[in-house]
Amino acid sequence: MDANDWLESFLFHQFTMKNASPLTLQAYRSDIIQFLGLEGVHKDGIFEVNHLMLRRYLAWLKEKEYSRRSIARKLSATRSFLFFLQGQGVIKSGRWSAVARPRQEKTLPHFLYYHEVAALLEAPASDNPLGFRDRTMLELIYSSGLRVSELVSLKPVSLQLDERLVKVYGKGNKDRIVPLGGIAAGLLEKYMDEKRPLLAARDKQGREYEELFLNRWGRPLSDRGVRYIFKKYIQQVSHKIGITPHSLRHSFATHLLERGADLRVVQELLGHASISTTQIYTHVTKERLSEVYRSAFPR
């Protein structure tokens, strides 16, 4: 087996044993190919990989001015691959952990204030199928704190509208049940009954798709398509930099905590494996309190 064969074996292992998502596997593939290409590892060259190569890769990433977050991700993926090769007896034991990831910058997630969210949700023109679909999607992301990948993978059978619940196929192939707000549930019911059939009829080959949200041609809406739609509407209502569909998820969590929700409950709603991931939102709410204090206190 050459380097490419071992890479495919590693990705299969990550998928079957670690429940890695398709997006994670895609990132792993890209990062590891970059490492192998930089070192010119071909065919039997995989047996010669050592920790010095990993150090050179780290130096090259810094020289190319990749962000700390990107460097950490690439290094993590490559080290996982090298540990896998070591476990398979392909390469000798190496000091992979000695090549430390760069210290991460502490940044708070971008979010929208409630009045900004309200303006965004009202932006789509709901008098046509596409506009109504867009309004429904935005409301659903905010109402249930969904990731874009979770949104595009939803199916009509995922919805339990009578109980105002939705079953989400989340990160790491983990399912969770999250509540739906009343407005989101009402929009979804109308979308399913009236608007989705109109979009589905646009597929010229008459195919039927399981996905809940369809594009203008009656085919499943992609992750990229959702981001394009979001960008169109956010530019109409906000001039903030760095606002993405994920910012609606951040806003969902921040607004819940501001209104007294328990951190553990928010963790479950977001599908975070660790409470430490959810705790970043407590810093957001504290920052918000400080901002209000500074703007309102007279001295």
Catalytic, 171? Answer: yes
Counting every residue, how long is the chain? 299
Catalytic: which of 28, 142, 233, 281? 281
pLDDT digits (tens, 9 = 90+) for 11-33: 999 988 887 878 889 999 999 99
Marked catalytic residue, from 79, 171, 196, 250: 171
Please give the model's pTM, rounded to 2 decimal places. Answer: 0.70
Q: ∠ at Cα 58 (7, 101), nearest 5°?
A: 95
- pLDDT per residue as tens digits for the range 118-157: 999 999 999 999 999 999 999 999 999 999 999 999 999 9
Higher pLDDT, 290 or 211: 211
The predicted model gives 75-97 an average pLDDT of 86
249 is annotated as an active-site residue: yes
State whether residue 106 is helix, strand or coil: coil
Which range is least confidently modeled, 92-106, 122-136, 226-240, 283-297?
A: 283-297
Structure tokens belonging to residue 204: 């010229």
Catalytic residue among 74, 79, 196, 249: 249
What are the structural domains, with CATH classification, of the chain?
3-98 (1.10.150.130), 114-296 (1.10.443.10)
Q: Which of 13, 110, 272, 288 is catalytic?
A: 272
Q: Kindly give, in sequence order, each residue whose CB lies less than 8 Å from that of residue 205, ignoring residues fewer than 6 positions away.
A: none
